[in-house]
Chains A and B, each alone.
Chain A
């Protein structure tokens, strides 16, 4: 297999994009990424999306976005893996290039959620869970995460207030990301006052639904000199799965998909967890940040909240997380979030992040995209190319 690099990135702001249909969001991100890479054709397109069929009544996004971007005729498919659809699309694009079947592949993540009633989108998002045995008896996605959070609080004797640190970090960083949905900071009082969604998960623990699209252009490493775009090496991009039903796992706090995908990614990249300088977390809910860090091996089980409250994951800490605001601050356009994470990590490695959130001298960055309550996990490691 060939080594691959990302030579272009593109994104739309994360907003309530009432003026644009889903196809336009996808095309905007794709064309922005192609302009950044300075390429005018692509060999194939992989579109990550979860809910276009359920909400926009539009499937077949591969051909549709290829058509509207002016590339009708190329290979193009939609890739779905719930909230992990974005990084799953990138994984497919990467395999197409690594295998030698494509020279230039694009991966887009695109989602449109906000123009539908909240309850309708709540039900649609719950399709990431087990339809017969979780969603159809009344479990929202927040409720499933709440079951994990309650168990965590029970096992490690921590308080709900201890979780406030993750949304606080996310909002603090989002202030400096022009593409983020939120540009205000929050504090512990805001967290304590927040409306309960599914106890113990409140509104501040929950990432907001949003519209948006992000894209990357992927080429083989040995051809990067041919292209003008600033290249970043994809050192690893590993996908692993776990049971869809949370109840099918022996230990609800043990995310085997996270463990497998993170350990495999680190092994393939040939580095240890402590060499990772920043991590774009899948903080759909605060508890997911905690479980993602612990199961990826960045700290011992039960220690993530202590490390976070000691400053380890803040922007000036030992390993900043959610540097562009994460899902909580940047917003969570579900099937697009995985590619926003990659686009943000690429900016960090290139040194192109806005000054207040630029991590110094980044050689290694990680992004982890999680679908459902941990059933699909894709861990990506990016590496700076030293000339």
Chain B
């Protein structure tokens, strides 16, 4: 991924920044220009807390080129506590320990390296929930 594109996505990749509809309070990740629920265009930035549960998951054995060195790796659909579902990698867990419904939390990890000399790209992944929710 080119650097300008990655830079443009930094608020999402590092902070899980989406948005929330000022009219009906529906949350979005990624941010959307129009509310899916009420069609309002009055959307405010919102940083997700990064907690959720696993909706589905898979272990990837055959990957696109950029990720080939990392196989096998885990991907999942995660239901964030605020509502939206997000696609993300899972980390710090073995695939035979994963269960649908398992609580997870967001962490920042290396997503991939662009060759030996290219930039290293970081972003969100999710791991099993370590700390107790308050």
Residues of A within 8 A of B (CB): 117, 119-120, 122-123, 126, 130, 132-140, 142-143, 146-148, 150-151, 154, 195-201, 245-249, 252
* A198 lies within 8 A of B89 (CB): no
Q: Which residues does chain A contribute within 8 Å of B57, judged by CB atoms?
A: 147, 150
* A132 lies within 8 A of B30 (CB): yes
Residues of B within 8 A of A (CB): 1, 5, 9, 12, 30, 55-68, 70, 73, 75-77, 84-89, 95, 100, 111-112, 123
* A119 lies within 8 A of B68 (CB): yes
A245 and B31 CA atoms in complex are apart in Å by: 13
Closest to B101 in A: A154
Measured CB to CB, the closest approach of chain A to B127, in angstroms, equals 15
* B62 lies within 8 A of A123 (CB): no
* A151 lies within 8 A of B56 (CB): yes
- Give 20 A-B pairs besides A122-B64, A143-B58, A247-B77 with Cβ atoms closer than 8 angstroms: A120-B65, A123-B66, A133-B12, A133-B86, A137-B87, A137-B111, A137-B123, A138-B60, A138-B66, A138-B67, A138-B73, A138-B75, A147-B56, A150-B58, A151-B55, A151-B77, A197-B62, A198-B58, A198-B61, A248-B85
* B77 lies within 8 A of A122 (CB): no
A133 and B67 CA atoms in complex are apart in Å by: 15
* A119 lies within 8 A of B61 (CB): no
A132 and B87 CA atoms in complex are apart in Å by: 11
A245 and B29 CA atoms in complex are apart in Å by: 11
Measured CB to CB, the closest approach of chain A to B74, in angstroms, equals 9
Q: List 16 A-B contacts (CB under 8 A).
A: A122-B62, A123-B65, A133-B12, A133-B87, A137-B111, A138-B70, A138-B75, A142-B62, A147-B56, A147-B57, A147-B75, A147-B76, A147-B87, A150-B100, A198-B60, A247-B86
* A198 lies within 8 A of B62 (CB): yes
Residue from the list A136, A148, A197, A252 in contact with B61, Cβ < 8 A: A197
* A126 lies within 8 A of B61 (CB): no
A142 and B76 CA atoms in complex are apart in Å by: 13
Measured CB to CB, the closest approach of chain B to A151, in angstroms, equals 4
Q: Which residues does chain B contribute within 8 Å of A154, judged by CB atoms?
A: 56, 100
Closest to A145 in B: B58
Looking at B30, B56, B66, the one whose CB has the most chain A CB atoms below 10 A away is B56
* A151 lies within 8 A of B100 (CB): yes
A150 and B60 CA atoms in complex are apart in Å by: 13
A193 and B55 CA atoms in complex are apart in Å by: 27
Q: Which residues does chain B contribute within 8 Å of A119, judged by CB atoms?
A: 63-65, 68
Q: Which residues does chain A contribute within 8 Å of B111, judged by CB atoms?
A: 137-138
Measured CB to CB, the closest approach of chain B to A258, in angstroms, equals 19
Measured CB to CB, the closest approach of chain A to B47, in angstroms, equals 16
* A196 lies within 8 A of B76 (CB): no
Q: Which residues does chain A contribute within 8 Å of B1, judged by CB atoms?
A: 136
Residue from the list A130, A138, A248 in contact with B64, Cβ < 8 A: A138
* B63 lies within 8 A of A138 (CB): yes
Measured CB to CB, the closest approach of chain B to A122, in angstroms, equals 5
